[in-house]
């Protein structure tokens, strides 16, 4: 056991810059993949929360028409909560949203802004309410939060597919680098391996240190990736953005890195002749 540990330490030292590249590849892959997973969770919890009511916003020709349509809407759909805003209210709200343009917005005539109708609608009735509003002559534009949420979900799915494909490519690159490291180490130690076989060493005892070296390279990279994820989470939290789900990655990322490293080492050993 002590000899095996010394042999693993020696191989880690001899892996040099190539081993460092493998560590960095795993760190980047786990950081990138973990960040994508955390973003997916944040978007699902905040922007795509399915338990929240849908929000429907309609532009109406006048403040009086907005109030009338709002009353008619609540009469037709008792589960809907509706409120109407005047053009002045719309102008002030836009000025709060865009403070850098507030001077320009507040200087414009209120007639330049529409009267808006805001409705909180049960998810099951969102499409019906939107259709009802579009059929009203007083309404000029209707936007449903479920519509843009569907577009956002599709865009997010495409981005995640591309992102996770890049993560897999980085992990595959790490496996190839570990494969090359192990091949080089075995070739350098070919004389020692031959002597060990002559004195009766079992094949498992010869190969195990190389597998452990590859797994440790991946494990260190995965651990570094988790540390980077915690740093990113801390920075976002300091800016008021709470990201949940980092803790489970503490186990997943290092294990994934170790698995990739061990697999690369296994392939590196399997590609060599039986008598190095």
Q: What digits encode the pLDDT tens for the residues 172-210?
A: 988 888 888 888 888 887 777 778 777 877 878 878 888
* Nearest-angstrom CA–CA distance, 22 and 104: 54
**Pick from 159, 264, 149, 272: nearest CA to 218:** 264
* Nearest-angstrom CA–CA distance, 178 and 167: 17
Sheet strands side by side (includes 81-85):
81-85, 115-121, 54-60, 139-144
What is this structure's pTM? 0.68
Instruction: Please report the pLDDT score of residue 4 as a whole number.
Output: 64
Q: Is the pLDDT of residue 120 over 80?
A: yes
Q: What digits encode the pLDDT tens for the residues 121-177?
A: 887 788 888 888 888 888 888 888 777 777 777 888 888 888 889 888 988 988 888
* Nearest-angstrom CA–CA distance, 229 and 225: 6
């Amino acid at each position: 056991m002590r000899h095996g540990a010394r042999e693993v330490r020696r191989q880690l030292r001899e892996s040099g810059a190539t081993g460092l590249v493998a560590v960095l590849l795993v760190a980047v892959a786990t950081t990138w993949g973990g960040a994508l997973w955390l973003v997916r969770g944040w978007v699902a919890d905040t922007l795509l929360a399915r338990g929240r009511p849908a929000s429907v916003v309609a532009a109406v020709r006048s403040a009086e028409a907005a109030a009338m349509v709002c009353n008619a809407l609540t009469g037709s759909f008792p589960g809907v909560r509706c409120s109407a805003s005047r053009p002045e209210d719309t102008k002030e709200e836009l000025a709060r949203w865009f403070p850098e343009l507030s001077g320009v917005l507040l200087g414009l005539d209120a007639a330049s802004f529409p009267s808006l109708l805001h409705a909180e609608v049960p998810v099951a009735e969102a499409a019906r309410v939107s259709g009802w509003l579009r059929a009203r002559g007083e309404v000029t534009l209707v936007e449903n939060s479920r519509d843009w949420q569907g577009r956002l979900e599709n865009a997010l799915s495409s981005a995640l597919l591309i992102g996770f494909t890049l993560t897999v490519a980085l992990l595959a690159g790490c496996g190839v680098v570990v494969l090359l490291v192990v091949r080089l180490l075995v070739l350098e130690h070919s004389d020692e391996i031959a002597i060990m076989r002559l004195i009766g060493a079992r094949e498992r005892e010869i190969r195990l240190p190389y597998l452990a070296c590859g797994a440790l390279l991946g494990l260190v990279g995965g651990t570094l990736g988790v540390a980077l994820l915690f740093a990113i989470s801390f920075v976002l939290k300091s800016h008021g953005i709470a990201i949940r789900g980092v803790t489970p990655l503490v186990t997943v990322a290092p294990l994934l890195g170790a698995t990739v490293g061990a697999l690369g080492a296994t392939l590196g050993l399997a590609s060599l002749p039986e008598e190095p």
